Amino acid sequence: MEKVVLAYSGGLDTSYCVKYLIHEKKMQVHTILVNTGGFSEKELEETEQRAYQLGSVDHVNKTILEEFYQKAIKYLIFGNVLKNNTYPLSVSAERIFQAIAVIQHAKKVGAKYIAHGSTGAGNDQIRFDVIFQTLAPEIEILTPIRDLKLSRQEEVKYLEGHGVHYSWEKAQYSINKGIWGTSVGGKETLTSKNALPDEAYPSQLQKEKEETVTLTFEKGELIKINGEKESPVQNIQKLEKLASAYAIGRDIHVGDTIIGIKGRVGFEAAAPLIIIKAHHLLEKHVLTKWQQYWKEQLANWYGMLLHEGNYLDPVMRNIEVFLQDTQHAVTGSVHVKLKPYHFTLEGISSEFDLMKSDFGQYGEMNNSWTADDAKGFIKIYGNANKIYHNVNSTAL
């Protein structure tokens, strides 16, 4: 029997794939769940048990939080990346690294085939296949759900026909949770008008009394919360727990999918949004105008390429070098007030703060130039406009 490695989540689609690959393709199925922060230890154990019950000859739960942070999240923070100024790439970023882990496992077990449960209508099929084809062109990709165009009812019927009688009742809202945010899909997100109700979001309002937290960054990385030092990964998880109690981070992202159709998805990402906004505020204080400008241009491209599955393009490594280099002075603390459903940035403290009163205070006084210096500068500064309108007197 040929070996196939299946990217397995424990849901209906990938459960169908296990049985289909065993009974229709006569393959030896090896399953792997790549955890990017969305599964508890209990859930991982339950998923493993289900994989073996379905017929997997070997199952692996692989947690890649540190790798995911070091190779993606860190740069998303450095670049203040929000897709369409809204979405922190919660799902799209993690899919890339799940695909890489699946390929690594397929090579380890010597599989000739690799499989996933994506449909033909979304972005994930592209993210997975591009990574697979690039890193392992010799391994054939199998996608039963996409190829057979199966309905949910057909999948359930097939599984029941093979003795699988789990409860496959479709949840009202589809939830995909990870360390960098949780996506929420439902009937409302299939429209252009309707908002998701409060109950659709996994985190509900638990705290109403305002609370101030201090986030401390060192060279762009979050190293402390309220003075307590932990790893960036632990701090992301800690901040998520603090802020999600206020139901912070809810929004709906609207964007262009890779296949050219418009897509709409809800999400909650308390920690990612607070970290990105806090980091951006600190950068406004410690970076120059042109550093900020070029960071914004390159980070926008970085986010788009990552979102569309182009993580392996070498230009991504080039941009990462640039983003890393901009973080030398991004050290200091940002003071954030948490409130029900939102947060505010109160200010920063940093030894690298460029708001130095030695040179002057905006709108108040000038310490390093005279009134005549200012008049001369303004006169020269306006020269280009004067020349143009002198030559083109009817321009307005």
Same domain, 239 and 107: no
CB-side neighbour CA atoms (13 Å) of 242: 23
pLDDT in tens, 154-167: 999 999 999 998 88
Residue range 5-23: average pLDDT? Answer: 96
Q: Which amino acid is at 350?
A: S
20 band by pLDDT with thresholds 50, 70 and 90: very high
Question: Within 10 Å of residue 233's Cβ, how many Cβ atoms?
Answer: 17
Residue range 305-328: average pLDDT? Answer: 97
Q: By mean pLDDT, which of 83-92, 339-348, 349-358 is the weakest?
A: 349-358
In this structure, is residue 168 part of a structural domain? no
In this structure, is residue 101 part of a structural domain? yes
The answer to whether 216 and 222 have CB atoms below 8 angstroms apart is yes
For the chain, the maximum distance between any two Cα atoms, rounded to a whole number of angstroms, is 89
Q: Is the pLDDT of residue 67 over 70?
A: yes
Same domain, 196 and 280: yes
Radius of gyration, CA atoms only, the chain: 25
The larger pLDDT score, comparing residue 92 to residue 210, is at 210
pLDDT of residue 361: 67
* The residue to which tokens 């390429």 are assigned: 305
Sign, Cα dihedral of 62, 65, 71, 73: positive
Nearest-angstrom CA–CA distance, 92 and 392: 51
Same domain, 38 and 57: yes
120 band by pLDDT with thresholds 50, 70 and 90: confident
Q: Across all residues in the chain, what is the average pLDDT?
A: 94
Residue range 217-237: average pLDDT? Answer: 98
CATH classification of the domain holding 44: 3.40.50.620
Under DSSP, the state recorded for 202 is: S
CATH classification of the domain holding 231: 3.90.1260.10
In this structure, is residue 255 part of a structural domain? yes
340 band by pLDDT with thresholds 50, 70 and 90: very high
Same domain, 199 and 332: yes
In this structure, is residue 318 part of a structural domain? no
In this structure, is residue 316 part of a structural domain? no
> What range does the domain containing 71 cover?
3-161
The larger pLDDT score, comparing residue 223 to residue 119, is at 223
Same domain, 195 and 341: yes
In this structure, is residue 30 part of a structural domain? yes
The answer to whether 343 and 278 have CB atoms below 8 angstroms apart is no
Same domain, 125 and 186: no
Nearest-angstrom CA–CA distance, 167 and 75: 40
Same domain, 195 and 343: yes
pLDDT of residue 356: 75
Same domain, 218 and 72: no
Same domain, 343 and 377: no
Same domain, 345 and 385: no
Where among 161, 190, 222 does a domain terminate?
A: 161
The larger pLDDT score, comparing residue 365 to residue 83, is at 83
Same domain, 191 and 153: no
Counting the structural domains of the chain, the total is 3
Q: By mean pLDDT, which of 21-30, 39-48, 171-180, 360-369 is the weakest?
A: 360-369
Nearest-angstrom CA–CA distance, 316 and 51: 36
122 band by pLDDT with thresholds 50, 70 and 90: confident
Considering the entire predicted model, what is its pTM?
Answer: 0.93
In this structure, is residue 355 part of a structural domain? no
Same domain, 209 and 335: yes
Nearest-angstrom CA–CA distance, 373 and 386: 20
Where among 161, 183, 205 does a domain terminate?
A: 161
Residue range 348-365: average pLDDT? Answer: 80
**Which tokens belong to 291?**
């550093």
